[in-house]
Amino acid sequence: MGLFKDARKAAQSGASLGGAGMPGGRIPGGMAGMSMPDPAYVALVNKIGQSGVEAPAELHAIRAVGSPDMSGATPHEFDVTVKPSGGEPYDTTIRQSMLDMQMQGLTEGKAVTVKYDPDNPSAALLHSW
């Protein structure tokens, strides 16, 4: 039986899907320990992708803060000082899921480019480095 067919059957019978989203908590092969992306994070990524403002920034600290999600990306926190054009520099912490290959070249003290939400400048994502 497929993933969605199992879930539909469990929902119809009133069975618990368990913490892993599968009947009885079963985890499909290769997905153990992985979580689904947070919908609020996905919405932030989409908003910044559509209307974010680019600005130079300096990366001060990097911390892994979670387990890989279904894509294999691990949540990280990046402490940065954002230097917006025509505005005062400000410090913020970016929480962003990154694949191992995306982490290459990211080091403390590195100049990076961020995109931030113009309605909430402390909400930002690393854009390039």
Q: What is the pLDDT of residues 93-124, one digit of tens each?
A: 999 999 999 999 999 999 999 999 999 999 99
Tell whether 65 and 117 lie within a shared domain.
yes
Does residue 1 surpass a pLDDT of 80? Answer: no
Interacting residues of 119 by C-beta distance below 8 A, sequence separation 6+:
none
What pTM does this model have? 0.70
Tell whether 28 and 45 lie within a shared domain.
no
Q: For the segment 24-74, what is each residue's pLDDT rounded down to a tens digit?
A: 434 445 555 556 667 888 899 999 999 999 999 999 999 999 889 888 999
Tell whether 51 and 84 lie within a shared domain.
yes
Tell whether 54 and 84 lie within a shared domain.
yes
Tell whether 107 and 76 lie within a shared domain.
yes
Tell whether 71 and 10 lie within a shared domain.
no
Structure tokens at 31: 């997905």
Of residues 21 and 99, more confidence is placed in 99
Tell whether 63 and 117 lie within a shared domain.
yes
Tell whether 17 and 61 lie within a shared domain.
no
Structure tokens at 16: 């618990």
The domain total for the chain is: 2
Tell whether 8 and 26 lie within a shared domain.
yes
**Cα Rg of the chain, angstroms:** 19
Does residue 92 surpass a pLDDT of 90? Answer: yes
> CATH no. for residue 57?
2.40.50
Q: H/E/C letters for each residue in the chain?
A: CCHHHHHHHHHHHCCCCCCCCCHHHCCCCCCCCCECCCHHHHHHHHHHHHHCEEEEEEEEEEEECCCCECCCCEEEEEEEEECCCCCCCEEEEEEEEECHHHHCCCCCCCEEEEEEECCEEEEEEEEEC
Tell whether 24 and 74 lie within a shared domain.
no
For residue 20, give its domain range. Answer: 1-32
Tell whether 15 and 52 lie within a shared domain.
no
Tell whether 108 and 46 lie within a shared domain.
yes
